[in-house]
Amino acid sequence: MPELPATRGTPFLETRALHKFYGGVHALRGVSLTINSGGSYHLLGENGCGKSTLIKIISGAQPASSGQLLIRGQDMTGLDPIAALDAGIETVYQDLSLLPNLSVAENIGLSQQLVESSGRLFRRISPAQIDDVARRALSEVNLPTDPEFLARQIQTLPIAIRQLVAIARAIASKAGLVIMDEPTTSLTKREVRNLISVIRRLQESGTAVLFVTHKLDEAREIGGTGLVMRDGELVQQCDVTQASNAEIGLWMTGRELEQGRYRRSPGTPPAPLMQIQGLGLKDAYRDIDLTIGAGEILGVTGLADSGRNDLAKSLAGLAPPDRGKVVLEGRPLDPSEPASMISAGIAYVPEDRLTEGLFLEKSISANVTMSVLDRLRNSLGLLNRRKARALTQKTLDELRIVAAGTEAPVQSLSGGNQQRVLIGRWLATSPRVLILHGPTVGVDVGSKDTIFRIIQAQAENGTGIMLISDDLPELLQNCDRIAVMRDGAVSRIFTAEGLEEETLYNEIAGSGGENAREG
Amino acid sequence: MKRHTPFRIAAAAAGIAMLGSGVLAQEGDKEAVTVVKVTGENWFTRMEEGVKAYGQEHDGIATRQVGPARADAAQQAAIVQDLVAQGVDALAIVPMDPSSLEGILRRAMGRGITVITHEADNLENTQLDLEAFDNAEFGARFATRIAECMGEKGKWTSFVGSLGSLTHVQWADGGAKYMEQFPEMELVSPKNESFNDANRAYELAREILRTHPDIRGFQGGSAIDVIGIGRAVEEAGLEDKTCVYGLGLPRDTSEYLESGAVDGISFWDPKDAGYVMNVLVDMTLKGEEVESGMDLGVPGYEDVTVSDGPGEGKIVRGQAWVDVDASNWKDYPF
Amino acid sequence: MPRRADAQLMFLVALNALVLLSSLILVDRQFFSLFNFQSMGTQVPELGLLALGVMLAMVSGNGGIDLSGIALANLAGVIAFLLAPLIFSSEDAPAAFFLAFAGIALATGMLGGALNGALIGYAGMTPIIATLGTQLLFTGLAVGLTGGSALRLGYVQIIDDFGNMPIWGIPYSFALFLLIAAALAVLLKFTRFGNHLFLMGSNPKAARFAGLRVQSMLFRTYLLAGILASIAGIIIAARNSSIKWDYGSSYVLVAILIAVMAGVRPEGGYGRVICVVLSAMALQILSSLLNFMQISNFFRDCAWGLMLLLFLANARVDWNAYIPAALRGNARQGS
């Protein structure tokens, strides 16, 4: 078992000039930092900046190519995961690394067992001991400690609870350093606040915490040191409560990012483009009346069960409504299948780009051109691959996608680039209406900026845009109007300019403000 | 024509392969390959003894036997095609599906390859087809014993390897024709197909016993039919009440012969058939004619009948049946 | 992906070359004769066409497979045999008879393929179950119509020539096979249907979201496979001058073996026609080589199993890992 954490303020972990090469790629360039016991640190940076690599080296999953790693003053360079656990480093990865068919108690006791039996799980410590450890950890994160809960299989729990269990495991073993990668993605506001108080307690007992996160507001609430990385280098350390979003954005991307509104509201009111009239779908939504003007950006938001996801699906042709109609430029549309909505000019960029949007193993070119192959034929009626590549290259250039060529597989791209490929496919169809569902989820700050600019440019071309999102700042920055849905109906439509986030938030949450996702 | 050399045999043996049977040949030997329906079956393993024996006892000719691992006409055809491409001197074939080989055999003869067949008296493209006996007569002999055993009245049925196995069908039809003279003999469910699978024969026999509880006579076609039938009869306890006769091999059927589940089997020794096929091969290679009455040097083929075949070739028939029951099966080592 | 695809192609070309070259050492020069190449060439098309059908089914995803290929091929031959003489006589008008024969066989293939397509595309049945069912149906019909016996076409020169004889050194049937393969390759690479087929196989959900008509595409895929099977049936009939309901019962698994060894992904979304052609050729050359070497047929199954395992191992191994770091130029991993 690890020793008790050292006194607050003394160095727990130190890296000196860490370098890492993957083949010919220089992933970490001389990173030197110190993590003090009881301190909190936030690792900030775009996708591909080296954050994950650094974490992997600290937690022992990968060895550094050169440089040193010291823990409590001892040289532990090249440690393996078991040694890292032994030294008191616990990690909560984004995928949670819980074993779904084992119980809550077994999962929480897991790292301890691994360390005690040097990585072999056969010699187990007694179930009573495991339960004990589990109970203490669970009470820290305010989860139930009754035997029934302890015995629950992980795969039966909702994702938010799983995230808390994963965190409980990390803190069960009195670690010296707890690393958390995007720990709040599935948590409600109340749960996030709960987590923050757990983290405070950890810090008080001398445990250091290191976060990898995109959410600057949360980072500020927790406080501590911001470690900003770019292109494998640690470019800036700052007090995260003092630095502004603009400064952090600049350090992360090397570019000035827009902080205020992206949207320049047009002077004249837009001509009506698409009208949704009295649309209803049983057990999903009812009496939806919305208009989108040409060149207008309409935001749609609401809680997860507000019906907005089903509305999006209906407009895409994936869930035909049973009442009402959708009219585009005066013509009624047939929402019974995606193909007819697409050919009418409605493009839907789905929520989950990995399973619903992209063909990951296929090339960027295949993904981008798939909906417009008819336009890329030669005189024989066969596909002209040169034209296809040209269109793809144009898309890569216009959307500023970083890739190893048009034929590279889409899965080789970062999240932000993948999202732009998907958007690019739909833009190539020159849609009349573009519906974007959560377009910047899991996308780094730099890509977000680019995507916002793309959306604005489309609007300026006269395309009508519906932006469905949970990210309130995103909505406020980009939309003309924002429609809030609640319990299957539109509860209010705001004008975005000048709207306060608090007002918007209250409308969404209605009575149960604490239960809203932070987004 | 190139021959095997010791080097090549060593090279082939150096691989992990199981060599097809072969005789170490000298330069100048004629190469005669016997192609059977399927390897691994007892019947054709016995045939191989005769094939090999001929090559060992005679100079100037190297004999060997090959066959597909599965009873699939396409696989046998592929083997024949490759042998033709290899340019062997003679082929002795027991065809799985005679009509599908017509083309390749025509081309083989066109290339100067001697073609002899066995159990294929409807094949046009062969020089000589060897039949151990007249098939209708063979079938009738089973029927004779079944009728005698049943007192010339009651229900009986017949089995075949498959409806495509020409000889089995001829035996079944020969038996049926014989039975026509007895008005009280009733044929039910004729020519049940076992696909050369003893288990399937067993299942079919059980079904028949269920559907016709008063059935007494069984005529088997493929060598494993009596085994399957015998097992079903034993299970039902009807050894003494049934009359089961059919093609079979002594060793395989001995258990049922002893218990009385199978009353008698007949066969022709595939070893002799394999030997005599190669006799005919050798004679044809040397340009000698086969005529009625000739003695080919093997019991059962000492006074053969030669008749015209459907094509330009001839059919050579012997009287090579052997009858076996509980009293004498031990005389035969296979 | 391009790099991976080339590796597969290289493997198959190398395999073909290896088997051919070893024949020079292991058997006499007869193997390298024109006659033998032609002989092998006539044996490839029927299996090759069935393997292409399996490839199409697999590429379309959805657990795609076609088990009914050879059964449909035989049925097509049976129906053509029974109906063609009603229109033309094979003795008086052999060419017309052959055309009628081929036409009826193709029509049968289309109907059979359409049945598969309807069951899988529109009724939503799992392909393995659907084609298992249609396999039994086609076989049953063929047995019923023929009573189990073989149907003899007799010697019709034009038909026999098509099945066995060469034109300019290449067997007619093999040339036809190559033409069909080329046309299929063009279809898959250069038409909208082909491009969408690969995408659908790769991610059916995203395909639906993107507006692809999934049901219709599945239907067309199996229809095409049925047509290929019927062409195989015509070639079988021409080669053997006879048609039997149970011909080639071992072909079902061999066709799948050829497709998998060609790198076609059983999960869907990937497969190359050229690789299937090379894979079929490699299997044929190896099969004939083993026959020339007088190696028991049992070993042939063993050899094919070995080849399949070698191929699967080749796909799993990242050869790059064994190349010294200095020579590597990998894309960036992780961040």
The domain spans of chain C are 33-314
Do B17 and C244 count as a contact with CB atoms less than 8 A apart? no
Sign of CA dihedral A349, A352, A353, A355: negative
Contact between B283 and B54 (Cβ < 8 Å): no
Tokens of A375: 């336009």
In a domain, A457, yes or no: no
Structure tokens at C295: 């190696």
- In a domain, residue A459? The reply is no
Instruction: Strands of chain C (E only): list them.
Output: 151-152, 166-167, 170-171, 242-243
Q: How many CB atoms lie within 10 A of CB A472?
A: 20
Q: Which residue of C has its CA nearest to A357?
A: C206
Distance set, CA A216 to CA A191, A245, A445, C194 (Å): 17, 7, 11, 46
Q: Which residue of C has its CA nearest to A26?
A: C332
Paired tokens of C318: 């990242």
Q: What are the residues whose beta carbons fall under 8 Å from the beta carbon of A30, sequence distance 6 or more?
A: A17, A18, A19, A67, A233
Nearest CA in chain A to C193: A373
Element (H, E) at B64: strand B61-66
pLDDT of res. A119: 63
Helix (H) or strand (E) holding C38: helix C34-59
* Gap between the Cα atoms of A143 and A163, Å rounded: 11
Q: CB C313: neighbour CB atoms within 10 A?
A: 9
Q: Do C206 and A357 touch (CB under 8 A)?
A: yes
Whether B74 and C247 lie within 8 Å, measured CB to CB? yes
Q: Are residues A46 and A85 in the same domain?
A: yes
Say if the Cβ atoms of A52 and C189 lie within 8 Å: no
CB–CB of A357 and C209 under 8 A? yes
d(CA C269, CA C1): 12
Query: Which of C206, C208, C213 lies at the smallest CB-CB distance from A359?
Result: C206
Q: Is B216 on the interface with C (CB under 8 A)?
A: no
For residue A454, give the nearest of A361, A349, A369, A355 by alpha carbon.
Answer: A349
Closest of C203, C134, C131, C168 to residue C38, by C-alpha: C168
Nearest CA in chain C to A358: C206
Which residue in the set B19, B77, B86 is minimally distant from C292, CB to CB? B86
Buried b (16+ CB within 10 A) or exposed e, A129-159: ebbebbbebbebbebebeeebbebebeebee
Contact C334 A52 (CB under 8 A): yes
For residue range B268-320, list pLDDT tens digits in order: 889 999 999 999 999 999 999 999 998 988 988 998 999 998 988 999 999 89
**Residue A208 lies inside a defined structural domain of this protein:** yes
Q: Which CATH architecture has domain B135-267?
A: 3-Layer(aba) Sandwich (3.40)
Q: Which of residues 273-292 of B touch C (CB under 8 A)?
A: none
Contact at CB, A350 and C328, closer than 8 angstroms:
no
Cβ separation C335–A27 shorter than 8 A? yes
Interchain proximity C39–B82, CB inside 8 Å: yes
Which residues of chain C neighbour B162 with C-beta distances below 8 Å? Answer: 148, 246
The residue-averaged pLDDT of C275-296 equals 90
Contact between residue B80 and residue B101 where contact means Cβ atoms under 8 Å apart: yes
Provide the greatest CA pair distance for chain B.
67
Under 8 Å between Cβ of B78 and B300: no
Kindly identify which residue of chain A lies nearest to residue C205, measuring between CA atoms: A356
Tell which residue, C274, C254, C123, has the closest CA to residue C186: C274
Strands A285-293 and A464-468, how do they pair?
unpaired
Contact indicator for C109, C172 with CB cutoff of 8 Å: no
B221 forms beta bridges with none
Mean pLDDT within C53-65: 95
**Cβ contact A407–C195 (<8 Å):** no
- Model pLDDT for residues B222-257, shown as the tens digit of each residue: 888 999 999 999 999 988 889 999 998 888 889 999
Question: What pLDDT, on a 0 to 100 scale, did the predictor assign at position B282?
Answer: 93
- Nearest C-alpha in C relative to A423: C210
Residue B230 is encoded by which pair of tokens? Answer: 């015998």
Taking 50 as the pLDDT cut, the residues of chain B under it are 1-5, 7-24
Answer yes or no: do A412 and C331 touch at CB < 8 A. Answer: yes
Distance CA A29, CA A67 (A): 10
Is B74 in Cβ contact with C295 (below 8 Å)? no
Contacts of A447 in chain C (CB under 8 A): none
CA-to-CA distance for A213 and A181, rounded, in angstroms? Answer: 7
**A274 and A212 belong to one structural domain:** no
Locate the chain C residue with the closest alpha carbon to B8.
C26
Give the dihedral of Cα atoms A74, A75, A77, A82; nearest 10 deg: -30
Q: Å from B66 to nearest chain C CA?
A: 7
Q: Could you tell me the CATH number of the domain that includes residue A337?
A: 3.40.50.300
Percent pLDDT > 70 in chain C is 93
Residues of chain B contacting C30 with CB distance shorter than 8 Å: 2, 85-87
Residues of A in contact with C184 (CB under 8 A): none
What pLDDT is attached to residue C302?
84
Instruction: Find out whether C274 and B96 touch, Cβ atoms under 8 Å.
Output: no
213-242 in A: which are within 8 Å (CB) of C? none
Chain A residues within an 8 Å CB radius of C329: 23-24
CB contact under 8 A, B66 and C297: yes
Closest CA to B231 of B196, B192, B205: B205
Nearest to A308 by CA among A485, A478, A437: A485
Vertex C68, ends C66 and C70: CA angle to 5°? 115
Cβ within 8 Å, pair B97-C247: yes
Strands (E), C190-259: 242-243
Is residue A389 domain-shared with residue A296, that is, in the same domain?
no
pLDDT of residue A117: 67
Q: How close is the nearest chain C Cα to the Cα of A157, in Å?
A: 26
pTM, full prediction: 0.75
Contact A23 C330 (CB under 8 A): yes
- pLDDT, position A160: 74
Domains B6-133+269-318 and B135-267 share a fold: yes
Cα torsion C193, C195, C198, C204: sign: negative
Report domain extents, chain B.
Answer: 6-133+269-318, 135-267
Q: Helices C214-240 & C192-202, crossing angle to 10 degrees?
A: 110
Q: Do C40 and B85 touch (CB under 8 A)?
A: yes
For residue A75, give the 3-state DSSP assignment.
strand
Write out the residue range of the structural domain in which residue A196 sits: 11-253
Cα distances (Å, whole numbers) of residue B94 to A243, A313, B306, C217? 91, 67, 19, 47
Q: Do C270 and A361 touch (CB under 8 A)?
A: yes
- Residue B198 DSSP one-character state: H
Q: Chain B to chain C, count of Cβ pairs less than 8 Å apart? A: 142
* CB A470, CB A438: distance < 8 Å: yes
Identify all chain C residues contacting A370, using CB atoms and an 8 Å cutoff.
Answer: 195-196, 199, 210
Report how far apart, in Å, the C-alpha atoms of A29 and of each of A234, C113, C329, C335 are: 8, 60, 18, 12
The yes-or-no reply on A/B contact (3 CB pairs or more, < 8 Å) is: no
Inter-CA distances, B52 with B23, B56, B128, B259, Å: 7, 6, 20, 35
How are the residues of chain B apportioned to helix, strand and coil, as percentages rounded to the nearest 5?
40, 20, 40
Is the CB of C209 inside 8 Å of chain B's CB atoms?
no
Residue A150's nearest CA partner among A105, A106, A204 is A105
- Chain A contacts of C61, Cβ < 8 Å? none
User: A touches which chains (3+ CB pairs under 8 A)?
Assistant: C
**What residues contact residue A244 under an 8 Å CB cut-off, 6+ apart?**
none
From B330's Cα to the closest Cα of chain C, the distance in A is: 32
Same domain, yes or no: A209 and A298: no
With residue B220 as reference, give the H or E element that holds it.
strand B215-220
Quote the minimal CA–CA distance from C12 to chain A in Å. 22
- What's the pLDDT at A115? 67
Q: Which residues of B touch C293 (CB under 8 A)?
A: 12, 15, 17
Domain tally for chain A? 3
The CA-to-CA distance between both ends of chain A, in Å, stands at 37
Q: Which CATH architecture has domain B6-133+269-318?
A: 3-Layer(aba) Sandwich (3.40)
Of C31, C249, C295, nearest to B12 by CB-CB distance is C295
What's the distance, CA C259 to chain centroid?
7
Which chain B residues have a beta carbon less than 8 Å from that of C174? none
Binding-site residues on chain C for chain A (CB distance < 8 A):
1-2, 186, 189-192, 195-196, 198-199, 202-203, 205-213, 269-270, 325, 328-335
Answer yes or no: do A211 and A265 share one domain: no
3-class SS of residue B334: coil
d(CA A161, CA A98): 12
**How many Cα atoms occupy the beta-carbon half-sphere of B64 within 13 Å?**
23
Q: Which residue has the tokens 């006879």?
A: C242
Q: Are A367 and A391 in contact (CB under 8 A)?
A: no
Alpha carbon separation from B68 to A102, B36, B99, B242, C287 (Å, rounded): 52, 8, 18, 36, 12
Dist. CA C85–CA C94, nearest whole Å: 10
Token pair for residue C121?
């595309």
Does C contact B via 3+ CB–CB distances below 8 Å?
A: yes
Task: Return the CATH number of the domain spanning residue range C33-314.
Answer: 1.10.3470
The amino acid occupying position A172 is A
Tell me the DSSP string of C149-179. --EE----HHHHHHHH-EETTEEHHHHHHHH
Does residue A447 fall inside a structural domain? Answer: no
Residues A124 and A138 in one domain: yes
Of A22, A359, A374, the CB nearest to C333: A22
Closest CA to A222 of A188, A243, A193: A193
C327 CA: distance to closest CA in chain A (Å) = 9
Mark the ranges of chain A whose per-residue pLDDT is less than 50.
1-6, 511-519
